Amino acid sequence: MFEVIVLALALSMDAFAVSIGLGAKNTGRVPVLAFKSAVYFGVFQALMPMIGYAGGKGVMGWVESYAPWIAFVLLMLIGGKMIHESMSEGIEEDIAVITHRVMVLLAIATSIDAMAAGFSLTLLGVAPLLACAIIGAVTFVFSGVGVYVGAHSGTWLESKAELFGGTVLILIGIKILLA
């Protein structure tokens, strides 16, 4: 269960970073934006790992002996991507108006990694629904808080959150490979 909580924290960092950027740009209706971010990002972060888990279960018979390596490579790529993104401008810099469509697109963009990481749930030996609920709940909280952080302090924490999340995902990948 500890691995699931750490995975949830790492996966939520993308949504947290985007929420910080949204809060920094849109300081007008912070409570509404915080709730929108929490719901959109939390729901998508909960659904996407389930898709990855289902896909992983579907191919597990064919790749069982390689599964730790596949999870390792996926988590290394996702973690590396997050670390790379921590050194560049966020997508939210180009957003002028936050509509439901924009929020759905941002939620999908920030949760694609969660779908790939969902494959690793097949190796952690945890109940997938519980794991996905934890991932969604952690992301819900971090996304809501991220908007407030951004609205009150700007974007200085944004890249650090992505760097932390990427590093943790790489460490989880190494742990799966060595287990």
Tens digits of residue pLDDT in 88-130: 765 555 566 777 888 888 888 888 888 877 877 777 778 889 9
Task: Provide the residue count of the chain.
Answer: 179
Is residue 167 a contact partner of residue 79, using CB atoms and an 8 Å limit? Answer: yes
**Domain residues for 31?**
2-178
The DSSP code for 157 is T
For residues 64-73, average pLDDT: 72
Query: With the C-alpha atoms ordered 112, 83, 99, 133, is the resulting torsion angle positive or negative?
Result: positive
**Least-confidence region, from 8-17, 38-47, 76-85:** 76-85
Q: Is the pLDDT of residue 79 over 90?
A: no
Total structural domains within the chain: 1
Per cent of the chain over pLDDT 70 is 86
- Reported as a pLDDT band with limits 50, 70 and 90, residue 73 is confident
The DSSP code for 97 is S
In whole angstroms, what is the distance from residue 80 CA to residue 23 CA? 25
Is residue 156 a contact partner of residue 48, using CB atoms and an 8 Å limit? Answer: no
Average pLDDT of every residue of the chain: 81
Residue 13 DSSP SS3: helix
What are the backbone angles phi and psi of residue 138, rounded to the nearest 5°? Answer: -65, -40
Tens digits of residue pLDDT in 119-168: 777 777 788 899 999 999 999 999 999 999 988 887 666 667 767 777 87
**Scanning the structure block, which residue is given the tokens 């659904």?**
47
Confidence at residue 116, expressed as pLDDT on a 0 to 100 scale: 78
Tokens representing residue 142 in the block: 């971090």
The DSSP code for 96 is S
Reduced to 3 DSSP states, what percent helix, strand and coil does the chain have, rounded to the nearest 5?
85, 0, 15
Tokens representing residue 1 in the block: 């269960």
Q: Is the pLDDT of residue 63 over 70?
A: no
Closest CA to 48 of 89, 6, 90, 7: 7
Report the half-sphere exposure of 132 (CA within 13 A, side-chain side): 22
More confident residue, 82 or 133: 133
